Amino acid sequence: MMTAERIVLRPKKIRRVAWACAIGLVVVFTVVGLLLGNTPTGVIFRTSDQVAMIVLGVLLAGGVLLLTRPRVTADATGIDVRNVVTSHHFDWNDVLSVSFPDGAAWARLELPDDEYISVMAVQAVDREYAVSSVRALRELHKAARI
């Protein structure tokens, strides 16, 4: 969602893929867990083994859903970057530029001392959305630095 005052960006394609994979994992592990009781091999699976298999599927799905976590919130004062595990806040004065290097998977904020922070919410696979997102972030950065 983009407005004149505040921008909130989230990746598009990875969210759909991650949700589909998470649902698939839960379904597959649930089916396997339920079918564990009926095996002709002579191995005895208990109810706890079946439940553990289903719980394992849910945990793996939760891990996949971490990929839906990235988000960027930016306004005239600064930018908040939330990636899969970490979160950062920067005032625009601390950011040298917003870049999207050739071949990179996602955009990044260039910081002093040759450091940078990846912006996983703006991903190359989102194509036009990524281009418009970087342009919007650059406009906010430019307006804040004047």
pLDDT tens for residues 57-95? 999 999 999 999 999 999 999 999 999 999 999 999 999
Q: Are residues 49 and 113 in the same domain?
A: no
Q: Are residues 78 and 140 in the same domain?
A: yes
**Nearest one of 105, 56, 102 to 83, comparing CA atoms:** 105
What pLDDT shows up at residue 3? Answer: 47
Low-confidence ranges of the chain (pLDDT < 50): 1-3
Point out the domain boundary residue: 51, 67, 83.
Answer: 67
Q: Are 102 and 93 contacting, i.e. CB atoms less than 8 angstroms apart? A: no
State if pTM tops 0.85.
no
Considering its fold, how many domains does the chain have in total? 2
